[in-house]
């Protein structure tokens, strides 16, 4: 059975009620009727770095649909250590528990790469979902996909070395932000990868010597995806099944893993 995208509109063809263009793939993938139902509730907002969208066990008030940038899902232990377990960009949405009727999240979700997007109140989303079966299906599929990505990331953080994990993180981030260059500090990346700054600096130095990246104190530039791909573990291809295979925004046969090509 052939697969086809749900997507019915291109980036910029849809706007919210205030005229702000939409680039989020979920919002571009639903039918015109369902988009018109949610459109009045889309509130545009800037998403600066380190903006906290959710804190563990706090009530969920909004669901977020990024247009650009990247949101990190972060787990913090009792002793204050943190590690990133998932990422959300314009391919998805933040606030998955609210899409299935839950009112609290167990993870922190924080803007890691600056961008913008839209938020919808949880109450408004629940009302819209009652008459929007396609949106219901996409959000449910994305929730399952995100759970699989979290599991894969947990395995990666436990089983693979920092160079592999760093390369995997850089590739995923570039896919989410559609840019080879993004602002990130050593300290913040160490927090995301669950390690310390010297370890991140060492891994960055190795990747830089291989000609894969250019690294400064506050930004990283990907010079060669091919070289970076050779440094990454197999988790990159597994996590990116939404992008390269039959993820939540596609119809047809179930996804079958295949090799990932690095351009």
Residue-wise pLDDT for 168-191, tens only, equals: 999 999 988 888 998 888 888 888
Q: With both helix axes pointing from N to C terminus, report the angle between 162-177 and 197-209 in degrees, rounded to the nearest 10.
A: 80
Give the CATH class of 4-157: mainly beta
CATH fold of 161-232 reads Arc Repressor Mutant, subunit A (1.10.10)
Q: pLDDT, tens digit, for every residue of 108-161?
A: 999 999 999 999 999 999 999 999 999 999 999 999 989 888 888 888 888 899
pLDDT of 73 > 90? The answer is yes
pLDDT > 70 in the chain, percent? 89
Q: Spell out the domain ranges in the chain.
A: 4-157, 161-232
Q: Containing H/E element for 127? A: helix 122-129
Confidence (pTM)? 0.86
Q: List the structure tokens of 125.
A: 């989303």
pLDDT for residue 92 = 94
Domain 4-157 identical in fold to domain 161-232: no
Please tell me whether residue 152 adopts helix, strand or coil conformation: helix
pLDDT for residue 7 = 59
């Amino acid at each position: 059975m052939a697969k086809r995208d749900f997507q019915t509109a291109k980036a910029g063809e849809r706007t919210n009620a205030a005229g702000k263009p939409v680039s989020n793939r979920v919002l571009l993938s639903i039918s015109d009727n369902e988009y018109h139902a949610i459109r009045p509730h889309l509130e545009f907002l800037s998403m600066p770095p380190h903006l906290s969208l959710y804190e563990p066990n706090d009530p969920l008030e909004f669901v977020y649909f990024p247009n650009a940038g990247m949101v990190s899902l972060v787990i913090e232990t009792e002793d204050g250590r943190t590690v990133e377990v998932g990422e959300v960009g314009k391919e998805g949405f933040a606030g998955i528990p609210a899409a299935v009727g839950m009112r609290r999240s167990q993870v922190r979700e924080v803007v890691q790469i600056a961008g913008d997007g839209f938020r919808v109140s949880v109450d408004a989303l629940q009302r819209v979902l009652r008459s929007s079966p396609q949106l219901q299906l996409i959000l449910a599929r994305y929730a399952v996909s995100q759970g699989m990505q979290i599991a894969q990331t947990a395995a990666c953080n436990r089983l693979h070395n920092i160079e592999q994990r760093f390369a995997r993180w850089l590739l995923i981030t570039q896919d989410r932000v559609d840019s080879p260059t993004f602002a990130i500090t050593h300290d913040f990346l160490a927090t995301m990868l669950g390690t310390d700054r010297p370890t991140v600096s060492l891994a960055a130095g190795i990747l830089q010597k291989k000609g894969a990246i250019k690294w400064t104190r506050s930004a990283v530039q990907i010079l060669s995806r091919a070289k970076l791909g050779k440094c990454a573990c197999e988790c990159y291809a597994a996590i990116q099944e939404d992008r390269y295979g039959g993820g939540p925004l596609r119809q047809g046969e179930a996804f079958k893993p295949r090799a990932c090509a690095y351009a």
